[in-house]
Every structure is written in structure tokens, then in C-alpha cells.
């Protein structure tokens, strides 16, 4: 059956190829890229760096820049949390839990995950600085379920690394940085 189908495809595909127009087809217009920038507030309320977010219709890329002294050296879990409120400095609980419209389990490596807030860890250098870029195909900036929805969202940085499997946040610990996305 598979070879029969392949044969059919081959015979029908060839004439179609032969009829293809000689001139190159005009490229489809690129989808608009949305951009957003915001400061990252550290555990003591000082600005420790910034996020620069770019999003297309189906993916989001976040560039994270953290100044020397901004974080403890080593790996840190980061997530999109569901509310754009970082005003409770040092706690950052007002940013609530992860963006998670599907009620998925947390964890990029969890068979029942990931949730929409999940992102790879970032690594802070010995001086506490970070230059990183992470991406997600689970969220975008605009739209009803976008990061910039009615109550916004937040990029939250945790004290420890995310193990990408444990509930609810991969043992990532306290919230030590927060950036509003609104
Ligand atoms: Cu988190």
C-alpha cells in the first residue's frame, strides 16, 4: 500500500513540477514582529537588568541582560508568570503562578507538560551578570491569551535552577527578579 501510494504521488507530482512557473514566486510578506522592553526588578527593588521581548504569531524570543551583581552566580530558573505585577518587591507573589491556560503540568521535561510559562534556565556568571536569549513556542505577546493580556504577565527569575520536572516550579525556589510584561 505504501509503495503504491508513493508511486501515485510520484506520477502526479512530476507533471505539477513541470508546470511550475519559470520566474521565482514573490516571497510572502513577513508577519509583523511585536517588540517589548522592560526593566527587571531585583530582590531589593533595584533595577538589575532588562528584558527585550520579540514575538511573532507563533513564538516568542526573550533576551535577558543582567548587570554585574544582579544575581547569585550559577543557574536560575525563569518563567512567564500570569500577572504583570512586580510591586511586592522581594516576594513577587503578586505575579501569581505560571501562565497556564491548558492546566498542564510544569516542566519542559515533564511528559504531562510543559505549561505555557516554562522556559530554559539562564546562567549567571561569577560576577552575577547574564546575557541570554531564550525562546518559547507556547506563548506570544498579543491576543486574548497573549503575555500582554488584560492583567499582563511577568518574567520571574528564581533563586535556583529549574529541574524541568518537579511540581509546581521545578524546585526553583524563591523569586529574586521580576519584569512586568503589559
Ligand atoms: Cu516561576
Q: For residue 27, is it within any domain?
A: no
Q: For residue 77, is it within any domain?
A: yes
171: left (phi over 0), alpha (psi -120 to 50) or beta: left
Eight-state DSSP code of residue 33 = P
For residue 67, is pLDDT > 70?
yes
Give distance in angstroms: CA of 127 to centre of ligand 1: 23
Q: For residue 21, is it within any domain?
A: no
Q: For residue 13, is it within any domain?
A: no
Give distance in angstroms: CA of 16 to centre of ligand 1: 51
pTM, rounded to two decimals: 0.83
Give distance in angstroms: CA of 152 to centre of ligand 1: 15
Query: pLDDT band at residue 13, thresholds of 50, 70 and 90?
Result: very low
Region 86-95: what's the mean pLDDT? 97
Q: For residue 1, is it within any domain?
A: no
Give distance in angstroms: CA of 162 to centre of ligand 1: 9
Q: Where are the alpha helices (DSSP H) in the chain?
A: 2-18
Q: For residue 176, is it within any domain?
A: yes
Q: For residue 5, is it within any domain?
A: no
CA 38 to chain centre: 15
Q: For residue 118, is it within any domain?
A: yes
DSSP class per residue in 104-154: PPS-TT-TT---TTB---EEE-TTS-EEEEEEESS--SSSTTSTTSTT-EE
CATH number of the domain that residue 144 is part of:
2.60.40.200
Give distance in angstroms: CA of 58 to centre of ligand 1: 22
Give distance in angstroms: CA of 180 to centre of ligand 1: 13
pLDDT the model gives residue 21: 56
Give distance in angstroms: CA of 158 to centre of ligand 1: 6
| Residues spanned by the domain of 58 | 34-181
More confident residue, 43 or 25: 43
Give distance in angstroms: CA of 175 to centre of ligand 1: 7
Q: How many domains does the chain have?
A: 1
Query: pLDDT band at residue 28, thresholds of 50, 70 and 90?
Result: low
Strand partners, 80: 155
Query: pLDDT band at residue 60, thresholds of 50, 70 and 90?
Result: very high
Amino acid at each position: 500500500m505504501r509503495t503504491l501510494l508513493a508511486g501515485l504521488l510520484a506520477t502526479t507530482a512530476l507533471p505539477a513540477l513541470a508546470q511550475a512557473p519559470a520566474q521565482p514566486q514573490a516571497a510572502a510578506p513577513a508577519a509583523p514582529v511585536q517588540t517589548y522592553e522592560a526593566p527587571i526588578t531585583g530582590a531589593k527593588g533595584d533595577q538589575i537588568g532588562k528584558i527585550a521581548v520579540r514575538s511573532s504569531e507563533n513564538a516568542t524570543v526573550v533576551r535577558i541582560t543582567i548587570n554585574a551583581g544582579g544575581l547569585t552566580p550559577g543557574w536560575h530558573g525563569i518563567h512567564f508568570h500570569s500577572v504583570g505585577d512586580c510591586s511586592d518587591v522581594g516576594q513577587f507573589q503578586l505575579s501569581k503562578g505560571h501562565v497556564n491556560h491548558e492546566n498542564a503540568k510544569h516542566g519542559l521535561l515533564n511528559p504531562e507538560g510543559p505549561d505555557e510559562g516554562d522556559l530554559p534556565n539562564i546562567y549567571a556568571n561569577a560576577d552575577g551578570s547574564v546575557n541570554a536569549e531564550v525562546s518559547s513556542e507556547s506563548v506570544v505577546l498579543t491576543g486574548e491569551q497573549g503575555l500582554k493580556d488584560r492583567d499582563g504577565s511577568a518574567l520571574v527569575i528564581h533563586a535556583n535552577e529549574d529541574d524541568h520536572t518537579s511540581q509546581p516550579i521545578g524546585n526553583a525556589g524563591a523569586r529574586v527578579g521580576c519584569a512586568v510584561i503589559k
